[in-house]
Amino acid sequence: KAFLDALRAQGRLHLTGGFGDGSGGAYVLCNVDDLEQARAIVATDPLALQDCSELSVHEWNTR
């Protein structure tokens, strides 16, 4: 929670939530320069650092 709270305080977290089936969750970053910066941010997620979860980063084009 602290990781996501910090992203929110930095203006980098658009939304977060769990999947309906309880199998995990996701968060959507905003105000990042590019995919590389998004990957660098996600690499600092405690779940990634502790190898507790499989994290993936995808570029999303909104309409």
The CA distance from 50 to 9, in Å, is 23
pLDDT at 63: 83
pLDDT at 60: 87
pLDDT at 61: 85
Closest CA to 48 of 63, 38, 34: 38
pLDDT at 62: 80
Supply the pTM of this predicted model: 0.85
**Under 8 Å CB-to-CB from 30, ≥6 apart: which residues?**
11, 12, 13, 14
Question: Burial of 7 by CB count in 10 Å (0-12 exposed, 13-18 middle, 19+ buried)?
Answer: buried
pLDDT at 54: 87
The domain limits of the chain are 2-49
What pLDDT, in 10s, does the model give residues 9-60? Answer: 999 999 999 999 999 999 999 999 999 999 999 999 999 999 988 899 999 8
